[in-house]
Structure 1
Amino acid sequence: MKKFLITVFSSVSILFALLIYILLYTASGVGVLVSAANLLSPLTIHIQQSSGTVLGELMLEEISLTLPDDSQISLSQFGWRVSKLEPLRKRIAFDFIQLSDVVISQGRSKTETEAASEPAPLAIPKLPIAISITEFRLAKLALIRDSEHSSILEHASFQLSIEQNKFSWQQVNISSDQFTVQAERLLLMPHEPNPAQGEFTVSIRFPQQGTLSLGTKVSSQNNQIYLKTAINGLLDGEIEIQLFDILDELSWHLKSAELRVDDWPALKQSPLNTLNLTLDLEGTTSSVGGTVNLTGILESNDPFRLSSQIDLTPDLMQLKNGVLTLSTLDAQILLNGQIQPTPPHNLSFTANSEKISQLRIASEVVELRDIFLKLSGTPQQMTINFDSGLQIDKQQGQLSANGALTPHQLQLDSVHLTGAVGTIHANGSLELDPPHLIHARISTQNLQPQYFFPQYSGQIASQIEINGPLEAERRALEVTLQQLSGNLNQQPLKGTGRFFWRTGKWAVEGLQMTLGLNSIAVNLKNHPAWQGEWDLDVPKLEQLYPTVSGTLKSKGNISSHSNMPRVSATIHGNEISYETYSVGTIRGLIDLIPDESEQSDLSIQLHNLIATNNLSTPLDLNIHGVGTLGDHYIDIEAKQIDAHASFRLLGQLTSTLWRATTDRLEIAHPKFGEWTQKASSEIKIAKNQFSFSQLCLLQQDTNICLEGKRDAQDLLATLAAKHFPVEYLSPWIPDQIMVSGNVSSVMEVRQLENQPIDLDASLESDTLRIDFQSQALPPLHNLKTNGHVTLKNNRLQYSLALRLDAQQFTHLHGHMEDISLRNNSPVKVHIDSEIHDLSWLSAFEPLGARVAGTWKSNLRIEGTLNDPKLYGRARVDQLAYQLKDQGVSISDGQALLKASGNTLNYQINLGSKTGPLSLSGTSQLLGLGASKTNLSIVGKEFTLVDRIDQKVMVSPDLKLAISPKDIYLSGKLHIPKALYAPKELPQGAVSASPDIQTQERVLTASSPTPVRTDLDVSLGDNVVFDGFGLNTFLSGYLRIYGDLLQLTRASGQLNLVQGKYKAYGQDLTIERGQLYFSGKEINRPNISIRAVRQVENVKAGILANGPIQEPTLEIFSEPELPQTEALAYLILGRPLDQRNRDDGAILAAAVTSLGLNRSQLLAQQIAHRFGLDTIRVEGGETWQQTAVSAGKYLTPRLYLSYGIGLFEATQQILLRYQINRRLQFQGVGGDASGADLFYRNETESLNIDELINPNESNQKKTD
């Protein structure tokens, strides 16, 4: 008890001693007035100056002392209120401090058993008393410096309880202009196993950037304290801190700290789009170590990354093994450095990199190699050493720099660039304090200009000096070109001159330059008054600028009279062209006299002006003006062969304003008709100001009106069109449609000072007509149109409605939240649309199909421009697609799209006359236009094609996966019914020679996306092939796999069922027919076919086995007969008749065309048996024209043959007689008859005697 009393009275003594100290400290020269003397009653002490002004008051209320039985002291309220913030020499000031319900009592000691059972506590001495403060309040705490108040806190309040060394803060609220701190409860228990717990929030407000919120959870375990802070607002991330041994030597670990900056306003003024910071640090009160990782995206969308290890001690701060990665520049920069925290703060910093690529000087790519940068010294005086190799367009060079850096100046003693682009030497200094004076001297030798300006080549030597301040408000640069020499594009170059530039003022003095035949001389300045002259003589413009050609001469002078200059100049140019622009001649005479008593004259003529992209017909432009400043006119006239425009301006010019009225305005064009102005319009032009009253153009009942104004702060413009013919817009309308009718529109554009542009536009029409290029599509008559667009505060709203015959045809509406279109700016676009008839899409269908259906959507786009997200639904109903020529007919279709961020869900149902087909699946949007799609395709007896010669019905169960790398189609495809009846061989049906070996191609960057397949294809009972003489049912199963675009393989078997083959007018029955696929290319199966013909008691047939490209063909018969007889039964249906030579020709043709084994021997046997010399098959332009012919030499010179068509009823007789070695006669009879005489000329000269007396010549020469 005695110990407790001593403690209590000591505490009270300290409290009153502190109070007396504060009074003495804050009240120098101030009197104290005590209004009450009883300490056990409310006590108020007034503090006032000797002048009587009351500065504040000190209040004590209800102080009580409890005897040792209860052992406590209670102070109900203690407060200090300041009436006037005049702390004189003091450093802090506040309105008031108040403590309420303060209770001091003796703390309870734990028993020895309790103490022994606890884990080792934190080493802090226990307090023998308990203190409870129900409320602590502090208002307007300020820092005083040089009689100025800097606010620290606006308000602070909390509850405090201390008992058994348990410190508890509750209802904590601290606020100021810049931040707030809030906590429900914070508990610190140094002698407990879990020494701390609670939560608190800190919000920091930045006036220009926004708010940063830190929400921290405090927890503890095993005498270690954990802080986990979630960061939101300007930064986004999370920090974890571990504290331990906090009362011995503070140790901590900051782990997994990540800060993300995606939309920090401060970034908008920097070259950064995003910034992410990740930390992993640990340390004590005397040292810190760990890693720092910084990643981000530059404004140019180029990523970068910085990672480094840091070590901090009281004596040294180190950056170790830092790596800065700039992927765009293909660079890795190694960083190392150190600095002493104590004065004079010696530092050393180095940066090394093997190379930095993709830098640019003008259009050339520059690569730095073996880069070394070193900074050493102190922050007050650093030396700079830089050295690097250099490569430009395979030219090698070296770049080095040495200098010094202080807080106030950058001094470069030498900068040397040798090799590569030439030799450059420079030195100078830059003041880092305003106005940022610069002084630099630059000299060049053998400088190659093509690296800066690609259109030039040559070598340049120069000496340049630059002086003046760089600060924007006081910028005044003086550039002296002391020497310029060398050659450009093989033309000699010389020049000198001086250039001066200051905000709003400039001067060119003594500029003399010659390049080849061209010369330029300029002396010109605009301060303190306009004065100077120029002389341009350029007979070869292409020498000055290679993309310009022609000649140009101009000479003139300018001088000031009062506030306005007098200008006299002449301009002459011929055959001037630049890119797609050209002009035949330019003539100009300017004599502007700022004197009311004298007339000025202006005349400019441009003849044969052509702009290839927009103005292919030559244009003549004439501008002529005459008069005084106060009364003048300007005529402007433009003429083409079939169009012209002219107008006259009547003007008055004062020292501050030019005012003019449009006296005449006429426009005539063969496509756009004739236009005239409705009334005069007034135009005003002054400094930073422009305006014109309503200017209206009329054409019958159509008028277009424009008016507006612009000054230094605001912009306002209005455009109104009434009954405007939309036919005038035909050059910008697709060729597939023709639009006619009239529209009316009003548009207003407004921009206030430093505000985004606002826009309001409307469009309406009730006379629109749309005709389609396709005659199958009916026109749309009497379309009623209504549209509206508004843009305000970067928020865009739009709507468009088309109505046809009182029915809504199309309806689009939506809004976009932000149109600033920065890469990281938020995007919020709503698209609501409704189209009640999609048949107009048929006009744009490339295959000429008919399209029908309705469309309705409710979509929105959110996210950023770099990473947009799509949400909402889109639906197509009553979808129909008909392509009659191809037999495609889809009806009763429905399509539904659901979008959720980067995921699109599809559901498409299609109908046909036999069965349905559905497609369902999802797409994942991967960014940069890439996506990943998975579709399921399921159908039952869906009619895919329905033509006379082709009918296909399918029942698919397929999976389709589409990715940026490939397309993969897998699953089952059943074909229950199909008919294929081709009339001619499809293109590409003839396969390549078996001598040509196919190899798999290696995909390159230009190869199409691979299409991989793994399909199980099965044929139903009603699949028919009927063409080229073959009529058969097909059945079987195939597995098709591989790349469709390169090498498709197959395994399985197809069967020919109930097949018949018609050849040479005969029908063969296919008893057995199989196609075997064994994993090779799909067009290389093996076949096994047995086709027979029954003639009375003889069955003749053909066997085909082996690869389809080279099958083994054999003729057989039952009973067994000679090959020629068996072939006769197979082809002719009867035994061979030696008297009928047509039989021999047909059999020989069969042998040749079928490619039977031993075909040459069979053909010889047939020919010999019939006494023929030749039998052969001759092809025509088509397979139907194939014919067989048999011939015989009647004499050594006379040959006769007879041919018949194999597939068409044609016949032909040919007679050929060899008159002599060079001359031959040939006659043909049949469907087409004629005769020809052929002459063959070899190396010998023509002998006329042979033509006249062939018999005599034949006696000399053997034919």
Structure 2
Amino acid sequence: MRVYRWLAGTILSLVLLIPIIAFSLVASESGSRWVLTQAQKYAPVEFSYSQFNGSLLNEFEFRDFSLEAGTFSYAPEQLKVSWKPFALLSGVLRINSVKSNGGEIRLRAAEQEQSDASETSIQDISIELPIDFNVLKLSIEKTQFFILETPAQSLNINASVRLDTSGSLNIRELQLEHQYMTTTISGRTKLSYPFDSNLNNNTHLHSPDYPELKVKSRIVGNLHKLSTTSELSEGLIGTISAELQDPISDLKWQLTSQWQDNNITPWLASFGADTLNLSFNGTLNGQGGMDHIELEPSISVMVNKQQADIDGNLNYRNNVLALNALNIQPQGDIDGVLTLQGEISSLKANPEINVSATWDEIIYEPNQLTSRNGKLTAQGTIGDLAIYLDNTLTGLLGNDLNLTTEAELTEKSLKLTQWRLSQNDEQVNGNAIIEWKDNLSLAANLTGSFQQQTVDAKVRLRLLDPYLFVDQLEARWGPHSLLANGALSPGSKLNWKLSSADLSTLSDIKGELATEGSINGQLNQSRFDFDIAEFNLKLPDYNAITLNQSVAGSFNYQESTFDVTPVCLNYKGLRKPLCAQLEQQKDSVNFTADASQVPLNLLQAIVLPDSPYTLSGELSLEIDGEFNNQTMRLEKFEGVVNADNSKIQAGEEVITLNQLVLKAKNGAEQDLDISLTAKANELDFDLSGELNIEQLNTNSPISGKVLLSSKSLELLNLFAPQINIGDGNTKAELTIAGKLNDPTASGSMNLSADRIVLLSSGTLITNLEAELTADANVGQFTVSANGTVGQGDVDIKGRFNVLKRVGLLTIKGKDLLILDTPDLLLSASPDVKIELQENLITLTGDLDVPKARITPVELNQAVTESADVNIKNEKKEESLFRTKADITVSLGKSVRVEAMGFSGNLQGQLRISQQPNSAATGNGSIGVVSGDYEIYGQKLAIERGDLLFNGGPLDTPSLNLRVTRNIKGNGASQRPPEIIGARVTGTIEQPELSLFSTPPLPDSTILSYLLFGKPPGNQGDVNNLELQAALLVGGRSTEFLTEGIKSTFDLDEVSLDSETNDVNDTSLYIGKYLSPQLYIKYGIGLLEPTSTFILRYTLSERLLFESTSSTEGQGGDLIYTIEN
């Protein structure tokens, strides 16, 4: 406040003195000097100068001027002032220009003083002046600024301002120019509380150490409410809007910001983090006050080409940072959502962490590695942090894996107290500790079982930079093992040994493998030397494949070069070893390979061990080439692969390829010419092909031709054993064009066959003529085929566009014998269309079935799982295509079914419809024209039988069945009913059975008539035995039911029995031993509502106690067994 009082006093003094002495004292230079000399004595501040020129009445200049005013000092080398004293007459102090050059300006911290309760507060500031101050131009150049304790900064200031009598400051221009920053301010501000302001600011950062940045801002408001908006450009692009309320007494603020695509990698590099490539865009909003901050980000971040979207809420209050559902959703190769929750407290001291990360499913797209139902928690301090991880991994090692980890992180170590990997009923447990107190070291142990193989591993590593010591590395998994020990240090080497007693558990190759070698080098050096001293591969029924000599090589990861001595493999019977060599020097890779008389069956055992075909013969090859890494050009290549007189066998079919040669050679223009020739004389088979690749890259143009001619189709029999093909021929001529990653073909292929039999279905196709043509210009194939199926003619036409994945196929035929097997015969007349639109297949048309015979052989009583059974770890393959259908199926008069006790003719029409990703539905009905149904050895006539489809799923039709039995009188006194039968309604899933008769009879009587043709009653023990026999052996389904119940519920007895001679007392019994001596049995009536409970206890080897309790009575027996 002293400054303000001093300023007001100075202004008042000037107002009074200037009119009096202006002309007498300051009109001359000498008078001006005298005035200045007197002012030095009485002025409230100290000032000095070495030289004065000019007149205080107009223009004057100081040399080495110095001003000291408490915490402020001003000492320019030159100070020039030009002003208009006569403007004072109009109430304005007008200064035309003030120019300060060189020197320094210092602002020091004020000394501590006792607080004065009467000192004026900021709310009391109110400035009013007797005159206006108008500074047209203020210039401070080449001046060093010392602000508090900061180092000196060179700063240039240019300003033009006006301060009126009300204390309102009009800033026409205020420019501050620093060597690293330039800022310009304009606008108006009030110098009295609450300091109403309306200012514009343009700031330009141009430091050589940081990226360039421009900020354009506007500030409007006062100390009650202040609003600001800023636009950023150049180094960062975005807008920021903020509002501050009561910044002096009780600060509250709100912030909204919008950021465009910003690459902040240059900013990170300026702070030394040059390994990160980071960019972001989105919005960041927030609010808060003096004691709390709340932020809501919604941004997209790209880190080293990995993108993630971040949104959620985090806030800071009372020294605690809280994460409220902060969601991180990666994009690109990683898909999923990671949610962070928790808090970090005691931020100003020793932060306490209690944070968790959860996710439902995170997928790494390139290999479909999936982590599901994951949770990662961290609790504790930085020096003592407990970490827990639990998640399920899919796509790594077959079935789902559950991975759990418990760890402790301290300032000196990371200790994995528990590491568990489980799958089904197997698990692998481990623990490890990583220490870095003095040097980095790792100790880990694994034990357990995986895929029914024992797992055991021990690892002990030490890193004494730059030396790596492997004290122990022993890993065993069933028949496989990896051993290593030694060091990567001068005078030492790292020895390793790999072996497998059964390769089939790792791959399709069957056999044994043993190999060992060493590695030599240091971690601070880019070159590593290695050797393979032993290699032994033994396949079943073959001699061992071994190294002819040890292999040595080196690798330099900085120069990306390597070299290796020839790798030569021995095999008993080879005239000379199979050798290959690779060497990279600077920009090129040289490679050679040489082999002769290599058995094809040996190569098949390694490359195609599960192939249904058997190869025999010998192969020889010679390859020599050079590839330039920098130009990506094949500088030299020449190769020949020959397998003349080789044989292919499948079952009893054997084909001899008299000539099989593959050649490749690059030309003068660095292109690559490839040719293939294959001939089989006995089949008049001739295949030749040529392909030219202009450059060795995926976009390289290609051109070529393929010619095929064969007067026999026996080769197709070899590759399609389920098809028997008679005489015929095939011919093809194709032209290849396009690019290596997008080839096209044009031309045609023709096939003629006098007979084709599909063995599994018995389908006979004769006089087949087929043609496939290709048009490379539109990427379309055209299909045309006709022939005879059974006695009917079929015609197939279609087209398919490879590029657009669209196509249409039409099939028309009349009385085609599609199936002809002992249990199935099907004749159909199709008129259907199959349309492909990307991944959607649409099936439309009509299918008439004039004749069919379905007589399946006796079915095995296989147990099928119920609908609520989930098979553990079952892999459900998703179809590549979606299906849409609208097809009408009509059954003719000659469709007969004899199966599962039913015998009759079917007729009807059914329209089948299906939408993509939905179940098929049906409209129509299938009825029984005539037929009967045999149940428990009795034939029942079907008077009416319909399956009704009313737009619901195909597997849930409605039922409308009526069966009757004609009962003949047998001379007995009781007259048989006129009509006896049963109705079945409802649906397949929930059928409803009702019995009827004329005249009406009880259900038990109707059932007895249906099954035996006799009424119930005193029919004797014979009828009771007949009923039991009918129930037990009359239908296989009953046996299947009882056995299925026994196995499902682990029961000891499931049976049908009767305690009396009355058929109505027949019951279903289930029994179970609760202990070796105690047995219980429970029965429920099938025809009458009765129940029975039996308890049997064995007292000794010959004596047992049995108690029976039923709805008809109770009783008990002691049973003693006597053996003869």
Query: Do Structure 1 and Structure 2 share a fold, with TM-score over 0.5?
Result: yes
Establish whether residue 725 from structure 1 lines up as the match of residue 811 from structure 2: no
Aligned partner of 1:645 in structure 2 is none
- Is the contact made by 1:853 and 1:876 (CA closer than 8 Å) also made in structure 2? no
Give how far 1:321 is off: 0.6
Query: Taking structure 1 as reference, are residues 323 and 567 closer, same or farther at Cα in structure 2, changes over 3 Å only?
Result: closer
Q: Structure 2 stretches of 5 or more lacking a match? A: 1-117, 127-139, 263-278, 502-511, 626-634, 666-674, 696-701, 715-723, 755-766, 850-873, 935-939, 964-980, 1015-1021, 1033-1038, 1073-1079, 1097-1105, 1108-1115, 1118-1124
Aligned counterparts of 1:767 and 1:1053: Cα–Cα separation in 2: 52
Aligned counterparts of 1:885 and 1:1002: Cα–Cα separation in 2: 23
Among 151, 173, 185, the alignment partner of 1:59 is 185
Quick one: which amino acid aligns to residue 251 of structure 1?
Answer: E
Aligned counterparts of 2:1091 and 2:381: Cα–Cα separation in 1: 80
Quick one: which amino acid aligns to residue 415 of structure 2?
Answer: L
1:62-106: CA deviations, max 9, x gaps? 211335xxxx22332342244xx7x1424253221424224225x
Query: Taking structure 1 as reference, are residues 559 and 65 closer, same or farther at Cα in structure 2, changes over 3 Å only?
Result: closer
Where in structure 2 are the equivalents of 1:225-304 lying within 5 Å? 227-232=324-329, 234-245=335-346, 250-255=351-356, 257-262=357-362, 264=363, 267-270=364-367, 272-284=369-381, 288-304=385-401
Aligned partner of 1:1071 in structure 2 is none
Establish whether residue 442 from structure 1 lines up as the match of residue 496 from structure 2: no
- Is the contact made by 2:405 and 2:416 (CA closer than 8 Å) also made in structure 1? yes
Give how far 1:857 is off: 6.0
Aligned partner of 1:335 in structure 2 is 431
Among 146, 149, 169, the alignment partner of 1:40 is 169
Aligned counterparts of 1:278 and 1:555: Cα–Cα separation in 2: 57
Establish whether residue 835 from structure 1 lines up as the match of residue 888 from structure 2: yes
Give how far 1:253 is off: 2.0
Quick one: which amino acid aligns to residue 1064 of structure 2?
Answer: G
- Is the contact made by 2:146 and 2:152 (CA closer than 8 Å) also made in structure 1? no
Give the match's secondary structure for 1:1036: helix
Quick one: which amino acid aligns to residue 932 of structure 2?
Answer: K
- Is the contact made by 2:315 and 2:322 (CA closer than 8 Å) also made in structure 1? yes
Aligned counterparts of 1:185 and 1:654: Cα–Cα separation in 2: 59
Aligned partner of 1:938 in structure 2 is 992
Establish whether residue 1040 from structure 1 lines up as the match of residue 1068 from structure 2: yes
Give how far 1:692 is off: 4.4
Establish whether residue 750 from structure 1 lines up as the match of residue 802 from structure 2: yes
Establish whether residue 157 from structure 1 lines up as the match of residue 241 from structure 2: yes
- Is the contact made by 2:892 and 2:907 (CA closer than 8 Å) also made in structure 1? yes
Query: Taking structure 1 as reference, are residues 473 and 850 closer, same or farther at Cα in structure 2, changes over 3 Å only?
Result: farther
Where in structure 2 are the equivalents of 1:367-766 lying within 5 Å? 367=453, 370-377=456-463, 381-388=467-474, 390=476, 400-404=483-487, 413-416=494-497, 425-429=516-520, 439-443=530-534, 449-450=537-538, 453-456=539-542, 463-467=549-553, 478-481=564-567, 498-501=579-582, 506-508=591-593, 522=595, 534=596, 571=644, 578=649, 580=651, 583=654, 587=658, 606=680, 620-622=682-684, 683=735, 691-695=745-749, 704-708=770-774, 716=779, 718-721=781-784, 724-725=786-787, 727=789, 740-751=792-803, 758-765=805-812
1:434-457: CA deviations, max 9, x gaps? 99866223236xx5x44xx23336
Establish whether residue 799 from structure 1 lines up as the match of residue 843 from structure 2: yes
1:541-598: CA deviations, max 9, x gaps? 99999999999578999999x999798989567xx6755366486655999999xxxx
Quick one: which amino acid aligns to residue 157 of structure 1?
Answer: S
Query: Taking structure 1 as reference, are residues 884 and 583 closer, same or farther at Cα in structure 2, changes over 3 Å only?
Result: same
Aligned counterparts of 1:778 and 1:274: Cα–Cα separation in 2: 50
1:720-750: CA deviations, max 9, x gaps? 215x2252xxxxxxxxxx5833323223342
Aligned counterparts of 1:843 and 1:473: Cα–Cα separation in 2: 79
Aligned counterparts of 2:433 and 2:1001: Cα–Cα separation in 1: 76
- Is the contact made by 1:541 and 1:552 (CA closer than 8 Å) also made in structure 2? no
Among 169, 172, 180, the alignment partner of 2:254 is 169
Where in structure 2 are the equivalents of 1:1204-1223 lying within 5 Å? none
Establish whether residue 75 from structure 1 lines up as the match of residue 189 from structure 2: no
> Considering only aligned residues, what root-mean-square deviation do their CA atoms show, in Å?
6.9
Query: Taking structure 1 as reference, are residues 333 and 102 closer, same or farther at Cα in structure 2, changes over 3 Å only?
Result: farther
Query: Taking structure 1 as reference, are residues 799 and 781 closer, same or farther at Cα in structure 2, changes over 3 Å only?
Result: closer
Aligned counterparts of 1:654 and 1:419: Cα–Cα separation in 2: 41
Aligned partner of 1:354 in structure 2 is 447
- Is the contact made by 1:1013 and 1:1040 (CA closer than 8 Å) also made in structure 2? no
Aligned counterparts of 2:801 and 2:303: Cα–Cα separation in 1: 35
Give how far 1:465 is off: 0.7
- Is the contact made by 2:773 and 2:783 (CA closer than 8 Å) also made in structure 1? no
Give how far 1:427 is off: 0.7
Quick one: which amino acid aligns to residue 480 of structure 1?
Answer: P
Query: Taking structure 1 as reference, are residues 311 and 840 closer, same or farther at Cα in structure 2, changes over 3 Å only?
Result: farther
Aligned counterparts of 1:844 and 1:481: Cα–Cα separation in 2: 68
Quick one: which amino acid aligns to residue 829 of structure 1?
Answer: R
Aligned counterparts of 2:809 and 2:955: Cα–Cα separation in 1: 36
Give how far 1:41 is off: 1.6
Quick one: which amino acid aligns to residue 258 of structure 1?
Answer: T
Among 932, 939, 942, the alignment partner of 1:884 is 932
Aligned partner of 1:98 in structure 2 is 217
- Is the contact made by 1:939 and 1:955 (CA closer than 8 Å) also made in structure 2? no
Aligned partner of 2:962 in structure 1 is 912
Aligned partner of 1:325 in structure 2 is 421
Query: Taking structure 1 as reference, are residues 390 and 579 closer, same or farther at Cα in structure 2, changes over 3 Å only?
Result: farther
- Is the contact made by 2:985 and 2:993 (CA closer than 8 Å) also made in structure 1? yes
Aligned counterparts of 1:425 and 1:242: Cα–Cα separation in 2: 52
Quick one: which amino acid aligns to residue 189 of structure 2?
Answer: I
Give how far 1:337 is off: 1.9
Give how far 1:802 is off: 2.0
Give how far 1:323 is off: 0.6
- Is the contact made by 1:1050 and 1:1080 (CA closer than 8 Å) also made in structure 2? no
Give how far 1:834 is off: 4.5
Q: Structure 1 stretches of 5 or more lacking a match? A: 10-15, 106-131, 143-150, 359-364, 510-521, 523-533, 595-600, 608-619, 624-634, 637-648, 728-737, 752-756, 806-820, 863-870, 922-934, 957-972, 993-998, 1019-1031, 1056-1073, 1087-1105, 1108-1263
Q: Percentage identity across aligned positions?
A: 10
Aligned counterparts of 2:879 and 2:298: Cα–Cα separation in 1: 28
Aligned counterparts of 1:218 and 1:568: Cα–Cα separation in 2: 70
Give how far 1:911 is off: 3.4
Aligned partner of 2:287 in structure 1 is 186
- Is the contact made by 2:927 and 2:946 (CA closer than 8 Å) also made in structure 1? yes
1:351-380: CA deviations, max 9, x gaps? 21224544xxxxxx9x56542112323675
Give how far 1:987 is off: 13
Give the match's secondary structure for 1:295: strand
Quick one: which amino acid aligns to residue 787 of structure 1?
Answer: I
Aligned counterparts of 2:388 and 2:186: Cα–Cα separation in 1: 54
Quick one: which amino acid aligns to residue 534 of structure 2?
Answer: S
- Is the contact made by 1:289 and 1:312 (CA closer than 8 Å) also made in structure 2? yes
Give how far 1:332 is off: 1.6
Aligned counterparts of 2:642 and 2:1085: Cα–Cα separation in 1: 90
Give the match's secondary structure for 1:978: helix
Query: Taking structure 1 as reference, are residues 232 and 781 closer, same or farther at Cα in structure 2, changes over 3 Å only?
Result: closer
Give the match's secondary structure for 1:73: coil
Aligned partner of 1:966 in structure 2 is none
Give the match's secondary structure for 1:911: strand
